[in-house]
C-alpha cells in the first residue's frame, strides 16, 4: 500500500479501479474535491502521480475496495472488469452497503451480466451502471455528463457532483450503457465527418481559414467537431479519447444493433480498424484524418 500525504475531510471514501486516461482524471477530480481516494491499476506506475496528490495505492484491487463507500471501475473491457471484480474477488471484498459504480463503456449485455452477477454474489452491494459522456479534460474539470441507471443513493451525490456537470437517471442498470452507445455513435459520425470534410477541402483547394469561417457559428458544426477539425489540420493526435477505444465502442454498437440499424457506424469502424492496425493505436480520434488524401498513415 502506498499512501499520499494530504488529509481529507469527511466525505465518501472512494476507490477508483483502473487509472488510465479517464480513471486517472476522475481520481484527480475526486482528490480536488477533498475526498479520500484509493486507487488500483494493473500497471502500478500509472498511480504514482495520484499518490503524490494524496491518493492511496494498493497492490491488490481487493484491498483497494475493502471498507470504501463507493467503488468506481474504469477498466477497458468487459473481460478486464470481470477479471478484476468477479474472478479476482474484488466484489467479494466490498463491505456490505457499499456501491459499485461501473463507469466504463462496456456495452449493454456485459453491463447487465455484471449487474446480475452482483445480485447473485453480493445482494448487499448496490450496482450502478453510470458510463460518462466526455473525455479527459471534462473529467478533470468536473464537466462529465453521467448516464446513470440503477437505484439512486444519497452517498453517490457528492461523488457525481464532483465528477459531472449533470447526472441523468435513466432506469434499470443497462439503460445508461444503451444511451452511451448512442452518444458514441454520434461522436463517431462527427469525428469522421470532420476528417472527410478536411480531406475534401484540401483536395478542392479550399483554405483552412475559409472552412473555419464557414463553420464558425454555423448550426452545422458542433463545438466538438470544430475542436477535432482544428486538431486534424494541426496533426495534433495526442490522445484525449484514443482511436482504438472509440473503435471498441463502435464494435459494441454493431454487436448490439444487429443488421440494418447502424450501417454507417459499421463502415466507420472498418476504416478506423485499418488506421489502428497500421500505426494509429494510442492516438486521439482526431487521427481519423489519417489515410484520407495527403495525410498518410
From CA 153, how far away is CA 237, in angstroms rounded? 39
The residue with cell 474477488 is: 89
Q: What is the mean pLDDT of residues 53-61?
A: 97
In the chain, domain spans: 2-171, 178-289
User: Average pLDDT of the chain?
Assistant: 94
Percent of the chain with pLDDT over 70: 96
229-237: which pairs have CB atoms within 8 A and are 24 or more residues apart? 229/194, 229/197, 229/198, 231/284, 231/286, 232/194, 232/195, 232/198, 232/286, 232/288, 232/289, 233/198, 233/208, 235/289, 235/295, 236/284, 236/286, 237/280, 237/283, 237/284, 237/286, 237/287
From CA 70, how far away is CA 97, in angstroms rounded? 9
Which CATH number does the domain 2-171 belong to among 3.30.70.270, 3.40.50.720, 3.40.640.10, 3.40.50.880? 3.40.50.720
Number of Cβ atoms within 10 Å of the Cβ of 201:
19
- Tell me what pLDDT residue 3 has: 62
Cell of 44: 502500478
Residue 297 clears pLDDT 70, i.e. is over it? no
Angle at 15 between CA 9 and CA 17, to 5 degrees: 150
Topology agreement, domain 2-171 and domain 178-289: no
Residue 134 clears pLDDT 50, i.e. is over it? yes
Q: Do 46 and 25 meet the contact criterion of CB atoms below 8 Å apart?
A: no
Q: What is the dihedral of CA 234, 204, 289, 274, to 10 degrees?
A: -150
- For residue 184, CA distances in Å to 173, 245, 251, 254, 269 come to 18, 11, 11, 12, 12
- Tell me what pLDDT residue 10 has: 67
What's the distance, CA 20 to chain centroid?
10
Maximal C-alpha separation, the chain: 64
Fold of 178-289: 1.10.1040
- Tell me what pLDDT residue 296 has: 63
pLDDT classification of 18: cutoffs 50, 70, 90: very high
pTM of the model: 0.91
191-244 pLDDT, tens per residue?
A: 999 999 999 999 999 999 999 999 999 999 999 999 999 999 999 999 989 999
Query: Which of 234, 240, 198 lies closest to 215, judged by CA?
Result: 198
Amino acid at each position: 500500500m502506498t499512501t499520499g500525504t494530504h488529509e481529507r475531510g469527511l466525505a465518501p471514501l472512494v476507490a477508483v479501479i483502473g487509472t488510465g486516461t479517464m480513471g486517472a482524471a476522475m481520481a484527480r477530480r475526486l482528490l480536488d474535491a477533498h475526498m479520500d481516494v484509493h486507487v488500483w491499476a494493473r500497471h502500478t506506475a500509472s498511480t504514482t502521480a495520484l499518490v503524490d496528490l494524496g491518493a492511496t495505492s494498493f497492490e491488490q484491487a481487493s484491498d483497494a475496495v475493502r471498507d470504501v463507500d463507493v467503488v468506481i471501475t474504469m477498466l477497458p473491457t468487459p473481460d478486464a472488469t470481470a477479471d478484476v471484480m468477479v474472478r479476482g474477488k474484488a466484489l467479494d471484498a466490498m463491505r456490505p452497503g457499499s456501491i459499485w459504480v461501473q463507469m466504463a463503456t462496456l456495452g449493454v449485455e456485459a453491463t447487465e451480466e455484471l449487474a446480475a452477477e452482483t445480485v447473485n454474489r453480493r445482494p448487499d452491494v448496490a450496482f450502478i451502471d453510470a458510463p460518462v459522456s466526455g473525455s479527459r479534460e471534462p473529467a478533470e474539470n468536473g464537466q462529465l455528463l453521467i448516464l446513470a441507471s440503477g437505484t439512486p443513493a444519497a452517498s453517490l451525490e457528492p461523488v457525481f457532483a464532483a465528477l459531472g456537470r449533470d447526472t441523468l437517471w435513466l432506469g434499470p442498470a443497462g439503460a445508461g450503457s444503451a444511451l452511451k452507445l448512442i452518444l458514441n455513435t454520434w461522436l463517431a459520425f462527427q469525428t469522421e465527418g470532420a476528417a472527410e470534410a478536411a480531406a475534401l477541402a484540401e483536395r478542392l483547394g479550399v483554405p483552412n481559414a475559409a472552412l473555419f469561417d464557414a463553420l464558425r457559428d454555423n448550426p452545422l458544426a458542433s463545438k466538438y467537431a470544430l475542436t477535432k477539425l482544428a486538431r486534424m489540420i494541426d496533426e495534433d493526435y495526442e490522445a484525449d479519447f484514443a482511436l482504438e477505444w472509440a473503435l471498441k465502442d463502435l464494435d459494441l454498437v454493431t454487436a448490439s444493433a444487429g443488421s440494418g440499424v447502424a450501417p454507417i457506424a459499421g463502415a466507420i469502424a472498418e476504416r478506423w480498424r485499418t488506421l489502428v492496425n497500421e500505426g494509429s493505436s494510442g492516438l486521439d480520434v482526431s487521427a481519423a484524418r489519417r489515410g484520407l488524401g495527403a495525410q498518410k498513415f
